[in-house]
């Protein structure tokens, strides 16, 4: 982690942003105390498209209600 004082960070802000873009964390200090940390954004996986999800579902040959009725009939013997 790169550590830099706020005053110096102001003058080199563009360079700091490039370093953060490349994965470097930058700790900013004022009078020796930590005040902020620049970190690259977390990569989040977007949710799949609802349309694609619906298209991926394959309907069974028989309806669920007919499967339940058949299972009940089997149990009753």
- Residue at token pair 């706020």: 6
For the stretch 6-32, pLDDT in tens is 999 999 999 999 999 999 999 999 999
Whole-prediction pTM: 0.54
Dig out the tokens for 28 from the structure. 């900013």
DSSP codes joined into one string, the chain:
-EEEEHHHHHHTHHHHHHHHHTT--EEEEETTEEEEEE-PPPP-PPPPPHHHHHHH----SS-HHHHHHHHHHHHH-
Chain mean position to CA 70: 44
Q: pLDDT at position 46, please? A: 77
Q: Which domains does the chain have, with CATH numbers?
A: 2-38 (3.40.1620.10)
Ranked by mean pLDDT, the top range of 8-17, 46-55, 56-65 is: 8-17
Higher per-residue pLDDT: 25 or 61: 25
């Amino acid at each position: 982690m790169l550590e830099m004082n706020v005053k110096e960070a102001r003058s080199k802000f563009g360079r700091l942003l490039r370093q953060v873009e490349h994965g470097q964390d930058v700790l900013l200090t004022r009078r020796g105390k930590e005040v902020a940390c620049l970190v690259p954004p977390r990569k989040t996986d977007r949710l799949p498209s609802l349309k694609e999800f619906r298209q991926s579902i394959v309907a069974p040959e028989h309806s669920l209600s007919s499967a339940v009725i058949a299972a009940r009939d089997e149990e009753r013997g």
